[in-house]
Amino acid sequence: MKFIKAHGLGNDFVMIFEEINHKQILKISDRKLGIGCDQLIQNIQKNGKNYVRFWNQDGSEANLCGNGIRCLAKYYTNTRNKFITKSGTINTVKLENQIAFSLPIKPIINSINHNNIYDVNIGNEHIVIIENKAPNWNEITLQFANYLQDKNIMCIWNDGKWNIQSWERGVGRTLACGSGTIAAACAGWHSGQISQKQVKFYTEIGELCIVQKTKLWQIGEANIVAEGDWTN
């Protein structure tokens, strides 16, 4: 079985191009018994169209994966691609050193705690916490324990620039979350704490830019690490 290993800002993926079962998803994603990844991306081509599904490390399914879709676009030689996901059709564009994609749905934003905590659905559901300093994840995972099975948790804070850290459903702490960064921008705009229509977030090892146009766009790097054959 052919696979591609890739990452977007340290959020890493195994990309597979054929049908696989739940047991295989778990084994491939395992960092000790398989190839290892935060999420597995399944890309099936039918009638000239690209159908994509995203599987978390624990075998649960995600409707959208921003870093993952940029990595998949990086793999293809075309400048522009369309990928059909459970959240809708995603359009991607290769730029000079980055990949841009447009969000296929309109975000749904609800305030949980005025001006501080937001529930944002952009295909994947996220809790976005606007902090005044770097988060304490032990405290946050205890405080939001009831949400961890269903939603990603994003923490953002501004110390002269907007920083972001992530906890992803079915995985745990990750170095970046592409869909979560879009959700964070939506929360920032909704709260009035972000006024610019283009905002840059600094992850733990890089940066992602969110742009507000007719649709929301994300711009960021994507890296192909390795390719090979999985034989188990």
Active-site residues: which are they?
Answer: 65
Rg (CA), the chain: 17
Beta bridge partners of 153: 127, 167
CA dihedral (62, 216, 89, 20) in degrees, to 10, reads -30
Non-local CB neighbours of 42 within 8 Å, separated by 6+ positions = 16, 17, 19, 20, 52, 53, 54, 55
Scanning 10-158, the segments in alpha helix (DSSP H) are 22-29, 66-75, 137-143
Backbone φ, ψ for residue 151 (5° rounding)? -135, 155
